[in-house]
Amino acid sequence: MKTFGPEQFHHARPPEDLSNPLKALWWLKKGALKPGPEWEEAHGLCQMAEGEPSHDLVHALAHWIEGDLPNADYWYQRAGSTKAGDIESEWKRIEACLFSKQT
């Protein structure tokens, strides 16, 4: 798998063979990139390895989605990254980045 296909989001849970940052990214998309129960799932996964850049990057996106921009900026800084122009573009950028690391 190199990207998430639309069919992936018809399932109740993300594929088990994904890294936790990719699972968190999956939950954010499953929740339509909005706060809610899926956001909570994603946020919990991000918090499992704070300080690890891939986790911190998805953590930053989660707080951007939540509307907590100062917190999002903090996590982007910790991840050593900057954000794309909008949330959907950022989700796609992170998806490509994380899948390139998944082997």
pLDDT in tens, 61-93: 999 999 999 999 999 999 999 989 999 999 999
Is the pTM for the entire model greater than 0.85?
yes
Amino acid identity of residue 42, one-letter, is A
Whether 6 shows a pLDDT value over 80: the answer reads no
CB 35 within 8 A of CB 24: no
Q: DSSP secondary-structure letter at 67?
A: T
**Which structure tokens are listed for 12?**
């109740």
- CA angle 73–78–103, rounded 5-degree value: 115
Query: What is the predicted pLDDT for the residue at 80?
Result: 93
Read off the pLDDT band of 1 (50, 70, 90): low
pLDDT in tens, 18-51: 999 999 999 999 999 999 999 999 999 999 999 9
CA distance linking residue 72 with residue 94, whole number of Å? 14
Q: What is the CA 91 to chain-centroid distance, rounded? A: 7
Secondary structure (3-state) at 76:
helix
